[in-house]
Each structure stands twice: as C-alpha cells, then as structure tokens.
Structure 1
Amino acid sequence: MKNFSLEENTHKIEEFYHIVHKANEAYFTYWKEHTFLHWDWWLSVGLTILPWVIWWRWIDKANRARFMFTAFFIIIVCSWFDFCGVALGLWYYTGKVIPTIPSYAPWDFALFPVTMTLLIQFRPHISPLKKAIFYGLMVAFIGEPIFEWTGLYTKVHWQYAYSLPIYMLIYLAANWVSKRESFGAV
C-alpha cells in the first residue's frame, strides 16, 4: 500500500472534489430545465407540504413538542440513510424539490416523520413491535413500489425486502425517543 504525503493526499481529494462539483453543476442545469416546475416537481412539493398540514391538524396538541422532537430525530436518521443509499448507488430519485441534499425531501422531511409520529400517537396501547412490522411492510411493499411506479424512485442495487428491517428499526427508535420521560421535566 502506497503511503501518500499530505500534499499528494490533498491533491487527490481536490481532484475528487472537482469531479463531484462538475457532476453537481451538470445535474443542477438538468434539474432546472427538466424537473423544476414540471409535474413531478409539483407532486414532490405537495408531498412535502401536505403531510405537515395533516400532521398539524391531527397530532395531539398537548404532545406537539414531543412529537416535533421525534419528527426531527426521524428526519435526521432517514436523511442520513437516504443519502448513504444514493451515494452508494443503491437507488436514486427524480422530481426532486431541490437538486441537492436531502436525497428526496418528501420522504425524508415529510412522509416518514409525519406518518411515524401519527402512528406512534394512534392507539398507543398496541405493541410498538406490531406497529413497526405494520409500518415496515406498508412502506417497503406498498409505498416504495408506488413511488417506483410513478418514476420518482428507481432501485439500482436494492430490493424492497431490504428496506423492511430498516423501517422497522427507525420506527422502534422513534417510538423510544417519543416516550422519554425528560419531556415531562421543566
């Protein structure tokens, strides 16, 4: 294994930076001409805003701060997983609201946090594991195929079944976060 000097290492990283920068510039130009203000962009904008309108209407007002904190946790986790999946070439999206990170704003910033927090709130006596299984099955085998069918999501090296345990774990972690007693402390 060759030992790079700091200068050689910096130069090599700079080369990669320029490759990524050029790719981002080309994608932004494409996005402006072929996505921005087209049907898939408007659908994505709607899927980013409408869930929060529904959330605001249906979330328990007394626990809104708790669920907002939980939603932020979900946004961070989902955005990170989504970014990794796109960066590793496992999937990609079209119809992006913005041509940068997050990978797909409706998933990461709206649909996941809203649906998870509403499900956590709904019938709290039901086992979180049962809810996690239900949620994982619904998103992996109904949600993802619908988004793939619309052309907004394309799997490259991924299968729906791979998503199931990930969605279940995110749901269980979000449920755990939402139940922390520290929310009651003043």
Structure 2
Amino acid sequence: MSNYIKLSDQMNEQKLEINHQKLNLWMENVLFDWHWWFGVIITVVAITLWLIYHERQSRVSLLLAGFIAAIISAIFDNMGQFLGWFDYRYDVFPMLPNYVPWDFVVIPIIVMFTIQLFKGVNIYLKGLVLSAIVAFLAIPFLNIINIYVLIKWNAFYSFILMYLIAMIAYHGSKISNVKSP
C-alpha cells in the first residue's frame, strides 16, 4: 500500500471522528436553538414567497437561473469553508457542508426575483443592487447573529462573487427558450 493511501485512510478516519463529534455537538446545542429555527423559517418563507409570487410563464427560465445560482453559491461556499475563509456556525442540516437556507434557497430565490422584478431596469444595475444588499446588509446581519463567521473574507469579496453569480445565472437562464405551461 502506498504512503498516500495509508495517509488518506488515516485522514478519512479522523474526518469521520470529527463528523461524529460535530453531529453530537449539533444535536446538543443547535437543533431547535433559535438560530436553527431562523434557518428553517427563512427557508419556508422564501419558498412560500417564491411559490406565490413567481411569474408562471417564466418559470422554466427562472428555475434555471435559480439552479445555476445555487450550484455556483454552493461550490464557492464549499471552497471558502475548506480554505478557512469563513464558516457557518448553526447548520440546519449538519451533514451538508453548506448553509442550506443560504445556498440552496435564499440566494437562488433572490436571484430569480431580481431577474423577474423591475423589467425595465438594466440587469447589470439590478445585479449591482442585489450584490450590494447581500454583501453589505445580509451577510453582515448573519455575522452579527453569529450564523456566518468571517475569518479571511470581507464584504467586498462577497459583493463581487454575488454579482458574478447573478450575472452568470441571468445569462445562463437565457439558453432556455421553453415557456412554462
């Protein structure tokens, strides 16, 4: 057995032990804590608002934009946590490396609503406003309530990343010419 495989197996055992400790910590300290309820509530509220207010005739392209936003957000969140740039303290689902309400619900839905609303406004301007709101209001709020902890990250990086996510999602959604029933 090569040294790499032996070391990789040892690291995997350590990772499994840490995951077990994290799950126990979560069950004892996070599950049903107000931070946990916050994540559950923003998830339910965001999905409910989307179901009620999205444009049905644009559903396919909006969902494509949301899917693209979720994938990009999740990838960068995984990278940021892996590299120690930031961390989430109160996971809704501790088995997943991402803060699910943020990456898979809030970000996609606000991107979809940004595309849908204010039809006469330039998409690049809408992207700038969305990015500013996320980077300079939402993320600092999550930091204040200790859900999101900045380690080697700042709001300007989030601003740029959110803008890129919104623009890629918007342009990616245009590849679909399919109209919803």
Q: Which TM-score tier does this pair reach, normalised by the shorter chain?
A: over 0.9
* Corresponding residue to 1:85 among 77, 80, 97: 80
The answer as to 2:169 corresponding to 1:174 is: yes
**Quick one: higher RCO (CA 8 Å, sep 6+), 1 or 2?**
2
43-52 or 64-73, which moves further after superposition?
A: 64-73
Match of 2:127 in 1: 132
C-alpha distance in 2, partners of 1:25/1:135? 38
Match of 1:72 in 2: 67
* Corresponding residue to 2:147 among 152, 156, 168: 152
How far is 1:102 from its partner? 4.2
Q: Kindly indicate whether the alpha-carbon contact (under 8 Å) linking 1:90 and 1:155 is maintained by their aligned counterparts in 2.
A: yes
51-60 or 123-132, which moves further after superposition?
A: 123-132
C-alpha distance in 2, partners of 1:10/1:102? 24
103-112 or 121-130, which moves further after superposition?
A: 121-130
What RMSD, in angstroms, separates the aligned Cα atoms of the two structures? 1.5
* 1:150-176 superposed Cα distances (whole Å, 9 cap, x missing partner): 111110111111111111011000110
Aligned length, in residue pairs? 180
TM-score (norm 2): 0.94
* Corresponding residue to 2:110 among 83, 108, 115: 115
How far is 1:9 from its partner? 1.3
Match of 1:61 in 2: 56
* 1:18-60 superposed Cα distances (whole Å, 9 cap, x missing partner): 1211111111000000001111111111111210100111110
C-alpha distance in 1, partners of 2:99/2:176? 32
55-64 or 26-35, which moves further after superposition?
A: 55-64
Q: Kindly indicate whether the alpha-carbon contact (under 8 Å) linking 2:70 and 2:108 is maintained by their aligned counterparts in 1.
A: yes
The answer as to 2:90 corresponding to 1:95 is: yes
Q: Kindly indicate whether the alpha-carbon contact (under 8 Å) linking 1:83 and 1:101 is maintained by their aligned counterparts in 2.
A: no
Runs of at least 5 residues in structure 2 that lack an aligned partner in the other structure: none
Amino acid at match of 1:80: I
TM-score (norm 1): 0.91
C-alpha distance in 2, partners of 1:96/1:48? 12
Amino acid at match of 2:108: P
How far is 1:122 from its partner? 0.7
The answer as to 2:14 corresponding to 1:19 is: yes
* 1:42-87 superposed Cα distances (whole Å, 9 cap, x missing partner): 1111111210100111110111122122211211111111111111
C-alpha distance in 2, partners of 1:61/1:93? 34
Q: Secondary structure at the match of 1:144?
A: helix
15-24 or 166-175, which moves further after superposition?
A: 15-24
C-alpha distance in 2, partners of 1:102/1:131? 30
Amino acid at match of 2:82: A
Structure 1 vs Structure 2: percent identity of aligned residues?
A: 24
